[in-house]
Amino acid sequence: MNGMLAAWINNPLLNIEKAVELQKLRREVRSRIIPGRLKDSKLTCSQPIVGRWINDCDYPFLTETLALTTAVFKQEFRGIQLSHEERKMLATILDKHTRECARCGYVEQSR
């Protein structure tokens, strides 16, 4: 599954609307986190596209957001069209990445 998010986002066959929805979600989640909670690390991320989510968003808040029921997600994030399955896939990719990437695992543990 390494690089799956990058492949999903960069896939030329991907519905461009889903890529836009993912970017909207990242911006929205980032706007809701408390400034200054992110830690810098000198380690290098193994998957920078995936790591950007870990770096830009409060990981526990993001995982809770992705796990919301469809009804609550639609109410909280109006205009972002991501199905439960797509959010579950993103959560799985992010979880796997934090376990495999030295930098992102370090950033997550240091919060």
Pair 50, 5: CB distance under 8 Å? yes
Identify the pLDDT of residue 16: 55
Identify the pLDDT of residue 75: 92
Query: Distance between the two ends of the chain, CA-based, in angstroms?
Result: 25
Q: Is pTM, for the whole model, over 0.75?
A: no
Identify the pLDDT of residue 37: 42
d(CA 74, CA 67): 12
Residue 15 has pLDDT above 70, yes or no: no
Residues with Cβ < 8 Å from 95, sequence gap 6 or more? 63
Instruction: Convert the pLDDT of each residue in 20-42 to its tens digit.
Output: 777 778 777 766 654 444 445 56
Burial label, 54 (beta-carbon count in 10 A; 0-12, 13-18, 19+): buried
Residue 50 has pLDDT above 60, yes or no: yes
Identify the pLDDT of residue 38: 42
Identify the pLDDT of residue 51: 85
Count H helices, E strands: the chain?
Answer: 7, 0
77 to 54, 55, 73: CA distances (angstroms): 19, 21, 6
Domain locations in the chain as residue ranges: 4-33+42-109
